[in-house]
Amino acid sequence: MDDIILKVKDTIVELNDTENLEIEFPDSYIKDLAKAYVDEDLTDDELKELIRKLKQAYDRARVEAGEAVGTVAAQSVGEPGTQMTMRTFHYAGVTELNVTLGLPRLIEIVDARKDIATPTMDIYFNEERRDDEEFVRILANQIGKSTINDILSDFNLNYGTMEVEAVLDSKKIEEKRLDRDEINAAIEKAFKKVVINGDEIIISSSKSDKSESKFEIRELRLLADKVRDLQISGIKNIGKVIIRRDDVPFELAEFEGQKEWIIHTEGSNLKEILSKEGIDPVRTTTNNIHEIGEVLGIEAARQSIINEAQNTLSEQGLSVDVRHIMLVADIMTSEGIVKSIGRHGISGEKSSVLARAAFEETGKHLLHASIRGEVDDLTGIIENIIIGQPIPLGTGSVGVKMDYKNK
């Protein structure tokens, strides 16, 4: 295939030289041309003709200088957006994780929210561990949140001695692949007066003299809740985990129909998960764009905005050309940090006073501008509409200049 791609490139160079076509195709076009050359069994002359025709179609499809691409993008995302449901669905099928979808999710993305409603992670495993169920289950329980309540077989409040009596379930501990010593250490660390006797744990209130307090019973019950909710495993910010089995993606599979284990999490902590042994540091990802920006950089955040927005739209059966979303993502990340579209981001930081005043909080912007003595150069669209001049857009973006030398 590589030699055919080279051949296509050579043909383009040849056409550029002989017919002065000034062809500059993106790589994907050259790949498609090479594929067509092989699949359709084209002759060299046919390939040349195909390139000429493609050049024509390509030039027709290109955006003209002065086109209002931002407005077109806004309309192209906005119109399908009106058809989105406001409802948040639950993940259908295998997983029972609740994930924000539809319009609320899209708003979250363009607003660049720091705290998204349902952060989730997809954790993949490297080649060795991909099919290792035992390893995946152990890791899932390490990162997923477990409390004492999850491993109890019996739980009693003894009002006579004012003690909490808990009996742990060895089977459940075994099932969750938890370490008994770690559990005991966590319990001992959290409560002062603890007696651990095998599976049996007796905890009494840390207040020294119990007889005098008239809130004794209430305190015991509060203590009982504390015992139940004591976290014994898990990574910060991560809640429930779900293990799923799926096909290995086509590019990575050694043979067809290869399956792998994937962990989905409620909550997200990309940094810690990426440093775990055995996971795939290439594919493991989160849906929290800010977190991606912090851990993987601004370019990864840009890509993540595109992926998340497109997935959100396509899940609702809407297809928006990815170029519009790319433009949004480019603008959101152009300053090196993820900025929101809207009052606190792009629109609120425009250099023109009139443009800001036309968007939101008119009074505030005009007042502040007059106090500071701001100057508006009237280079944008809105400013010129406000004062009634032709706008610098489309045919309005060109002017006439006199050439003094050639009179």
Partner 1 sequence: MKIDIQNHMLVPKHEIMTEEEISEEFSEVDYDFKNLPKIKSKDPVVKAIGAEPGNVLRITRESQTAGEFVTYRIVED
Tell me if 8 sits within 8 A of 47, measured CB to CB.
yes
Measure CA 63 to chain center: 29
Q: How far apart are CA 200 and CA 211, in angstroms?
A: 25
Is there binding between residue 378 and partner 1 (CB under 8 A)?
Answer: no
Alpha-carbon gap, residue 18 to 10, rounded angstroms? 12
Cα–Cα distance, 49 to 101 (Å, whole number) = 46
Give the separation between CA 309 and CA 105, rounded to whole angstroms. Answer: 8
Q: Rule CB under 8 A: is residue 350 a binding residue for partner 1? A: no
Q: What is the C-alpha separation between 37 and 31, in angstroms, rounded?
A: 10
Place of tokens 């009106």: 82
Q: Which is nearer to partner 1, 71 or 334 (CB)?
A: 334
Could you tell me the two tokens for 35?
């594929």
Q: By CB under 8 A, is residue 126 in contact with partner 1?
A: no
Q: Is residue 200 part of the contact set for partner 1 (CB under 8 A)?
A: no
Alpha carbon distances (Å) from 386 to 102, 196, 390 = 35, 77, 10
Of the listed pieces 70-78, 105-113, 166-174, 294-302, which binds partner 1 according to CB under 8 A? 294-302
Number of residues in contact with partner 1, rule: CB under 8 A? Answer: 33
Packed helices 2-19 and 27-39: angle between N→C axes, nearest 10 degrees:
110
Residue 329, helix vs strand vs coil: helix
Check if the beta carbon of residue 238 is closer than 8 Å to that of residue 208.
Answer: no
Decide if 324 contacts 285 (C-beta within 8 A): no
- Rounded to the nearest whole angstrom, what is the least distance from the CB of residue 111 to partner 1 in the complex? 21
Instruction: Quote the least distance from Cβ 404 to partner 1, whole Å.
Output: 21
Residue 314 or 362 having the CB closest to partner 1: 314
Contact 158, 165 (CB under 8 A): yes
Contacts of partner 1 in 383-402 (CB under 8 A): none
For partner 1, which is the closer residue by CB, 268 or 304? Answer: 304
- Which tokens in the block code for residue 381? 């669209």
Nearer to partner 1 among residue 146 and residue 286 (C-beta): 286
Q: Which is nearer to partner 1, 10 or 299 (CB)?
A: 299
Helices first, then strands: H and E counts in the chain: 16, 10
Distance, CA of 158 to CA of 204 (rounded, Å): 10
Which residue lies nearer to partner 1 by CB, 96 or 335? 335
Instruction: Give whichever of 36 and 296 is closer to partner 1, judged by the CB atom.
Output: 296
Window 30 to 49, contacts with partner 1 (CB under 8 A): 30-31
Q: Considering only 95-103, 104-112, 229-237, 288-296, which stretch makes contact with partner 1 by CB under 8 A?
A: 288-296
**Torsion angle of the four alpha carbons 128, 130, 132, 138, in this order, in degrees rounded to the nearest 10:** 110
Nearer to partner 1, 199 or 294 (CB): 294
Out of 199, 219, 294, 376, the only residue in the binding site for partner 1 (CB under 8 A) is 294
User: Residue 281, interface with partner 1 (CB under 8 A)?
Assistant: yes
**CA separation for the pair 222, 216 (Å, rounded):** 10
Out of 178, 292, 309, 338, the residue judged to bind partner 1 by CB under 8 A: 292
Three-class DSSP category at 20: coil
- Whose Cβ is closer to partner 1: residue 113's or residue 276's? 276
Site for partner 1 in 300-339 (CB under 8 A): 300, 303-304, 322-323, 326, 330, 333-337
Choices 107-115, 178-186, 189-197, 298-306 (CB under 8 A): range interacting with partner 1 = 298-306
Which residues on adjacent β-strands are paired with residue 259?
247
Report whether 341 contacts 331 (CB < 8 A): yes
C-beta of 297 vs 396, nearer to partner 1: 297
Residue 282 is a binding residue for partner 1 (CB under 8 A): yes
Nearer CB in complex with partner 1: 32/169: 32
Q: Is 275 in the site for partner 1 (CB under 8 A)?
A: yes
Least distance to partner 1 from the beta carbon of 335, Å?
A: 5
Q: How far is the CB of 283 from partner 1 (least distance, A)?
A: 6
- 285 makes contact with partner 1 (CB under 8 A): yes
User: What minimum distance in Å lies between the beta carbon of 314 and partner 1?
Assistant: 13
CB of 392 to partner 1, least distance (A): 15
Paired with 163 in beta bridges are: 158, 204
Angle, vertex CA 94, rays to CA 321 and CA 152, nearest 5: 135
Residues near partner 1 (CB under 8 A) are 26-31, 274-277, 281-283, 285, 292, 294-300, 303-304, 322-323, 326, 330, 333-337
